[in-house]
Amino acid sequence: MSAPLHLISNVFARQHQSLNGEWHTIVDPYENGYYDYRYQPLAEPYGKNKKPASISDRIEYDFDQSPTLKVPGDWNSQRLELALYEGTVWYKTSFRAQRSPGRRQFLHFGAANYQAIVYVNGEEVGRHVGGFTPFELEVSERLVDGENVVIVKVDDARHRDGVPTVNTDWYNFGGLTRDVLLVDVPRTFIKDYFIQLEQCSLERIGGWVLLDGPQAAGQKVTLRIAELGLRLELVTDDKGYARFSSGPEQRSAPLVLWSGGEPRRYEVELESEGDRVKEAIGFRSISTRGADLLLNGQPIFLRGISIHEQAPRRPGRATSRADALELLGWAKELGCNFVRLAHYPHNEHMVRAAEELGLLVWSEVPVYWTIQWQNPETYANAERQVTEMVQRDKNRAAVILWSVSNETPIDDARNRFLRALIAKVRELDPTRLLTAALERHYSDEHTQVVDDPLGADLDVIGVNQYVGWYDGLPAKCDSIVWDVRYEKPLVFSELGGDAKAGHHGPPEQRWTEEYQADMYRHQIEMMRRIRVWRGLSPWILNDFQSPRRPLPGIQDGWNRKGLVSDRGEKKQAFGVLQAFYAAVARDPAATHGGGSSGASGAE
C-alpha cells in the first residue's frame, strides 16, 4: 500500500495518545501467521488483490502470554536470541478509545523496518514499505468504544529489489523503531503546510496550507506570526489548498533569520474554521554562487560529521530525543555547524534537535550502492521514501541538503533513475539544494578526478574518499591532486579510517588511535589544496554496528571509524578535527592553506 500523498504535519503537536511502551510479540520465521495448520496459504504476505483473513484466524498463539518488546525499539538489541534475526515479528498492543462523530483518528508510525501490515480489531487497515520514513493510516471507522487492539506484522527481511538492497554496511535493526501515536483531529482539519522563505529570497515568506475533510473547499484559514505582526487571511480552493506569499510590507517587525549562531524560530499559528495548530519554524535561505555555498546570502564552510542512527554508548537503534541530544552534543563539542544524517532519514527527534541547536542537516534516502536501477517498482519505492522524507521535514530550517544517493556505480540506467528522483525532489521542495555522495576515479597515480555526470544535475557535489585507509597510507594524501570538473561547492561527504579506542601504537600501525589521528592530519592538508572545497562530514561520529565488520579483537561487529567509541570514549582523531574546526571558526582562511576560499567560517 502506498503512503498517503500528504502526511499530517507536526504530528506531535496534535491531540494524540502515545502507544509507546511494552508490546506483546510473536517471532514468526516461517510466516505461520499466514498459514493454517495444513500449511495452505490464506494470503500472500504482500500479494495484490487478495483480502486477508482475520488476524485471529491466522495466529494460534495467545499473544497475551508472549514476551514483550519495547516500542520504539529494535528487537535485535532487546533479546539476545534475536540479535541476528531477520524476518517477521508480530506486535500487539491494546488501548482504550471513545469514538466521536465529529472527529477522525489516525495511527501514526514514525517508522517500521522494513515492511509492515497493520490490523485494527482483527481487520487489515494498511501496509507500508520502507524502514525509515513515517506513515499514517486512518482508523476512524475501525475503532470501537472501549478497548481496541492493534497488531502489526513487521518483516525486516532484505530484498534484492528493496531500498536499500540486500548489501549494506550497517545493522539491519528490525521492529517498530520509532514512536507510535493515535492522532485525533477534527473531521475537517489542517493536514499539511509548507511555510519557508521563498526560493532566492531573504524577505518573502511563502508556501501553502492543505485542509483535509468534507468541508476542506472554500474554507477560511488564518496564518499568524505574532512576533512579526503578520496576519494573513487565506481561502482554500476546491481541493483544500490555500497558497500565499508575504513580503516585509505585511510585517510590523523585522525578520531575524535562522542561523547556527542564532537558531531563531517563530511560533507560527494556523487556524481554520474547526482546527488550530502551532509550530516553531525558522526562516533561512540556502543557495550557491559558483563554488560558494551561501547561508542567508553569506558564504559558509560546512564543518561537519556524518552520523548513523546508532544508539550512543549501547547496542541498538537510537530512538529517543535523549539519544539525539547526546549524539548532537558530541557534534557541537567537536565544533560542527553541520551534520550528515546517513544513510537514511533519521528519527524526527534528531532533525528537530539539530534545528534547536543550530546545526545544518544533510538528509538522505537509502538509495545505496547497487539498487536495481531498471526495476520500476524499485524506483517507485525510492520515490515514495524521498517523498515521505520531504513531507516530514520540509519545514525544518536546519535541513539544507536533500541527498538522493550514496556511492552508486555510474551507468545509464542509474543516471535515469537518479535524475528522475532529483526532479521529484525539486518538484516537492524548490527551496533546498540537491546533492549525492558520489565516487571518484584516478586518471593517473596522483590525480583524483570528480566527473560523475550526475554532478551536472546537483547543486552541491558530495564525494566519498578514503585516501590513507582503503587507498594507501596517510602519506599518500600529500601527493594527491584533485581535478574537480564542476564549478560547484564540493563537500567531502566521507573520509576517515578505523581505530579501536584504547588501542595504541606508532602512527604507522593500523587500527591504532595514533594511525587514525595521523591520517586526519594528512587528509586535512590534502583537502586544503582544493579550490572548490566548501565542507566535509568525516566518517563517522561514533562507532556503529555492522555485520560486515567481523575482525576479532578489533571490530567484533562494529565499524570502528567513529571519533567516539561505542562506550562514549573520544579517540585522538576527535581532538585533531576539533582543533581544525576551531581554527576555521576563528579564521576562514584556514580552509585553504592561508589563501581565502571565499567561504566564511561563520555560523
Query: In whole angstroms, what is the distance from residue 351 CA to residue 538 CA?
Result: 19
Q: What is the pLDDT of residue 239?
A: 96
Same domain, 469 and 568: yes
Domain's final residue, options 284, 312, 343: 284
| Residue 145 pLDDT exceeds 60 | yes
Same domain, 337 and 256: no
Query: In whole angstroms, what is the distance from residue 75 CA to residue 69 CA?
Result: 7
Q: Report if residue 603 sits inside a domain.
A: no
Query: In whole angstroms, what is the distance from residue 64 CA to residue 181 CA?
Result: 21
User: Residue 195: which domain range?
Assistant: 189-284
Helix (H) or strand (E) holding 378: helix 376-393
Q: Report if residue 307 sits inside a domain.
A: yes
Order the strands of the 241-246 sheet from edge to edge: 189-197, 205-212, 241-246
Question: What is the chain's mean pLDDT, rounded?
Answer: 93
pLDDT digits (tens, 9 = 90+) for 225-247: 999 999 999 999 999 999 999 99
| Residue 104 pLDDT exceeds 50 | yes
Q: Report if residue 212 sits inside a domain.
A: yes
Same domain, 487 and 549: yes
How many residues make up the chain in this entry?
603
Instruction: State the pLDDT confidence band at 599, using cuts at 50, 70 and 90.
Output: low
Q: Please identify which residue in the block is written with the cell numbers 599518500.
A: 476
Query: In whole angstroms, what is the distance from residue 354 CA to residue 336 CA?
Result: 11
Asked if residue 464 lies in contact with residue 473, where contact means CB atoms within 8 angstroms, the answer is: no
pLDDT digits (tens, 9 = 90+) for 373-430: 999 999 999 999 999 999 999 999 999 999 999 999 999 999 999 999 999 999 999 9
pLDDT digits (tens, 9 = 90+) for 151-198: 999 999 999 999 999 999 999 999 999 999 999 999 999 999 999 999
Q: Report if residue 280 sits inside a domain.
A: yes
Q: Report if residue 598 sits inside a domain.
A: no
Same domain, 275 and 128: no
| Residue 44 pLDDT exceeds 70 | no
CATH of the domain at 198: 2.60.40.10
Burial (Cβ within 10 Å: 0-12, 13-18, ≥19) of residue 272? buried
Same domain, 488 and 357: yes
Same domain, 263 and 161: no
Burial (Cβ within 10 Å: 0-12, 13-18, ≥19) of residue 594? exposed
Q: What is the pLDDT of residue 63?
A: 78
Q: What is the pLDDT of residue 39?
A: 36
Same domain, 179 and 193: no
Buried b (16+ CB within 10 A) or exposed e, 30-52: eebbbeeeeeeeeeebeeeeeeb
CATH of the domain at 427: 3.20.20.80
Our count of domains for the chain comes to 3
Instruction: State the pLDDT confidence band at 5, using cuts at 50, 70 and 90.
Output: low
- Give the three cell numbers for residue 301: 564552510
Instruction: State the pLDDT confidence band at 35, using cuts at 50, 70 and 90.
Output: low
Answer with the residue of higher pLDDT: 39 or 9: 9
Q: What is the pLDDT of residue 447?
A: 97
Same domain, 334 and 459: yes
Share above pLDDT 70 across residues of the chain, in percent, rounded to a whole number: 93
Q: Helix, strand, coil proportions of the chain in percent (round to 5)? A: 20, 30, 45
Query: In whole angstroms, what is the distance from residue 77 CA to residue 317 CA?
Result: 8
Same domain, 378 and 239: no
CATH of the domain at 125: 2.60.120.260
Helix (H) or strand (E) holding 426: helix 412-428
Share above pLDDT 90 across residues of the chain, in percent, rounded to a whole number: 89
Domain's final residue, options 165, 186, 207: 186
Q: Report if residue 342 sits inside a domain.
A: yes
Q: Report if residue 461 sits inside a domain.
A: yes
Same domain, 328 and 215: no
Domain's final residue, options 171, 186, 201: 186
Question: What letter represents residue 376's amino acid?
Answer: P
Same domain, 244 and 388: no
At 342 the three-state DSSP class reads coil
Q: Report if residue 597 sits inside a domain.
A: no
Mean pLDDT of 341-362: 98
Q: Which of 498, 141, 169, 212 is nearest to 366 (CA)?
A: 169
DSSP 536-586: E--S-SB-EE-TT---TTTTTTEE---SB-TTSPBPHHHHHHHHHHHHHHH
Same domain, 89 and 166: yes
